[in-house]
Structures are given as structure tokens and as C-alpha cells.
Amino acid sequence: MNDSSDFAAPGPAAGYARSVAKILVLHGPNLNLLGDREPEVYGRTSLADLDTALIRQAEAAGDTLASYQSNAEHELVERVQAARHDTTAFILINPAAFTHTSVALRDALAAAALPFIEVHLSNPHAREPFRRQSYFSDLAVGVVAGFGADSYRYALDAAVKRLASA
Ligand code: DQA
């Protein structure tokens, strides 16, 4: 019998503060229009409000969060490349339309070898057939889709938990 009550060995959760992790959120093309863009599909939360909520959520968990949006594939590739050397520990990415097209962004994430979660506001599987293909899902730690802005919230929660247990 393994009774830990008498000989409780201190584990990572027993009084040791873990280090602050740096989380990067990447938003792909047209997500700068969040709130205005097809609100019946993508919701009414602006990108600025969404990012502010994520920063607060990360900080409440003891981590930090930086966010970056671009409409340009090469800029997202370059941001992922930069993440290899800037102490980023985890990436949340909504590749938006690049989900279905971008081998370049997939390759950048594979090269970075950082854990990431693929995030979507809508559920691409409940939409047009071309949205069912993702160049990211098989490399991702997980995929969160279909919950509007809450998809990011759930993904960040999962990232924080994973970082805490790493
Ligand atoms: C999206 C889904 C994609 O199919 C689409 O191209 C987007 C947004 C989403 O968050 O639901 O731009 O990634």
C-alpha cells in the first residue's frame, strides 16, 4: 500500500511556485475584423476585447500572454520562427483561412517544435466541405472549435493546465 499521508514527498504542486510561462496567441487573416465580420458566424467580440480577456486570464493563472494578428502568411511564419528563440512556451493559433491552405505555416510550427492548440470560433466541420481540411490538427496538442470567443478561453485554460503539469 502506498500511503502518502505520513511521508508526503513534496511534488511540483506542494509549495513550489512554477516559473511564469510565456504564451503566444496568433490570429490569422481577417480576424482583425472580429466583431464586424459575419457576426452571426464569428460573434460580436472585437479582437482587442478578446485579447484583453486572454491577457487577464493568463495573468490570473500566473503566466504572460502576447498576441499577434496578421493577414499575411509570411508574417505569421516569421512570428512563429521568432517564437523559437523568444522563450515562448506554448502557442494558441487560429490560422483562419490559412487553416485550409498553408503548408508554409504548418512547416513553421513543425520547425518551432512548440506545443500548440488550434482554435476556431466557428465549427469548420459544420460548414462548407473545404473547411474540413486542416493543415494543423494532426500536429496540434488539441483543437478547440465552435464556441465563439470562448474557444480561445477554453484553449488557454488547457494550455495553462498543461504548462503547470509539465
Ligand atoms: C475560422 C474558420 C475558418 O474556416 C475561416 O476561414 C476563418 C475563421 C474560425 O475561427 O472559425 O477565417 O478559423
Side chain identity, residue 49: D
Name the grid cell of 25. 496567441
**Selected catalytic residue, list 16, 27, 85, 120:** 120
Residue 154 annotated to the active site: no
pLDDT at residue 51 is higher than 90:
yes
- What's the mean per-residue pLDDT of the chain? 91
Which residue owns the Cα nearest ligand 1 atom 2? 96
pTM: 0.90
**Residues comprising the chain, all counted:** 166
pLDDT at residue 13 is higher than 60:
no
Q: Ligand 1, closest atom to CA 97?
A: 6
Task: Say if residue 71 is exposed, middle or buried (CB neighbours under 10 Å; 0-12, 13-18, 19+).
Answer: middle
Query: Tell me, what's the pLDDT at 131?
Result: 98
